[in-house]
Structure formats: structure tokens, C-alpha cells
């Protein structure tokens, strides 16, 4: 029997104002978040009960509140704050792997996006 299972929320999109430059705070932009959550196996799967697992609607709202909340200069810090908030909200999460993508990164070149991934163990 497996000891855990994985829940993924992929490409969650939010408008926010993160970044080092003043223009990033003034203009804002879209950010994209992936959350990969390793969840302890419980009887929730056997009983088919939402009570013993991670409610991904609530998880999405936790992510949204962090991303659209206070400004962070680093998307790395944003990813860590999301991971910590999710593990605090759901005791069943043993590992939160959070990826944040910033499509309009202020770099002197052409790229699709900048992306960071942070892992946080509960």
C-alpha cells in the first residue's frame, strides 16, 4: 500500500505586483503557480471523504491569498510563503513543491518566462 499520494494544481493564474523594480509594483502582471503536494495516506481514500484529505478548492484560495497579498521582491520568497501556508493549513501535506512562473520578467532579452521551484517539508 502506498504511503502517500500527490495532488497537483497546475497553472493557477493571478494578477499581482511582485518584483524588485518600482514599475513591477505599479503595473503588475500575471503570475502562474503550480502546487505539487505530497499528502499522507489516510482513510479518506477508503472512505471517500473530503475531511481527511487536502481540499483543492481551499488550497487554491490559500495560494490566491498569498499571491495577491503583500508584495514580494523575489518569486522565490513568494513560492516559499505559499508552501508554508499550505502545509500550515493542511496537516496531511508532508511536502509542498511550489513553482512560480513570471512571464514578464524584467531581463534584457527575450524569454518565455522565469520560473522557480521551492520545496518545503512539513
| 42 pLDDT above the threshold of 90 | no
Percent of the chain with pLDDT over 70: 98
**Cβ 20 vs Cβ 50: under 8 Å:** no
CB atoms within 10 A of CB 5: 16
Q: Alpha-carbon torsion 56, 28, 84, 107, what sign?
A: positive
| 1 pLDDT above the threshold of 70 | no
First-to-last alpha carbon distance for the chain, in angstroms, is 22
pTM: 0.92
Alpha carbons 96 and 56: distance in angstroms, whole number: 13
70 is annotated as an active-site residue? no
Q: What is the mean pLDDT of residues 27-56?
A: 90
The predicted-structure confidence for 16-39, as pLDDT tens digits, reads as follows 998 887 777 778 899 999 999 999
Amino acid at each position: 500500500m502506498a504511503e502517500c499520494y500527490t495532488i497537483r494544481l497546475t497553472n493557477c493564474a493571478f494578477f499581482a505586483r511582485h518584483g524588485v523594480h518600482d514599475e513591477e509594483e505599479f503595473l503588475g502582471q500575471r503570475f502562474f503557480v503550480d502546487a505539487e503536494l505530497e499528502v499522507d495516506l489516510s482513510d479518506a481514500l477508503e472512505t471517500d471523504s473530503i475531511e481527511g484529505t487536502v481540499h483543492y478548492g481551499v488550497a487554491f484560495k490559500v495560494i490566491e491569498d498569498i499571491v495577491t497579498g503583500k508584495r514580494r521582491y523575489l518569486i522565490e520568497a513568494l513560492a516559499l510563503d505559499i508552501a508554508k501556508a499550505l502545509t500550515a493549513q493542511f496537516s496531511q501535506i508532508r511536502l509542498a513543491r511550489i513553482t512560480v512562473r513570471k512571464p514578464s520578467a524584467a531581463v534584457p532579452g527575450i524569454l518565455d518566462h522565469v520560473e522557480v521551484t521551492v520545496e518545503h517539508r512539513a
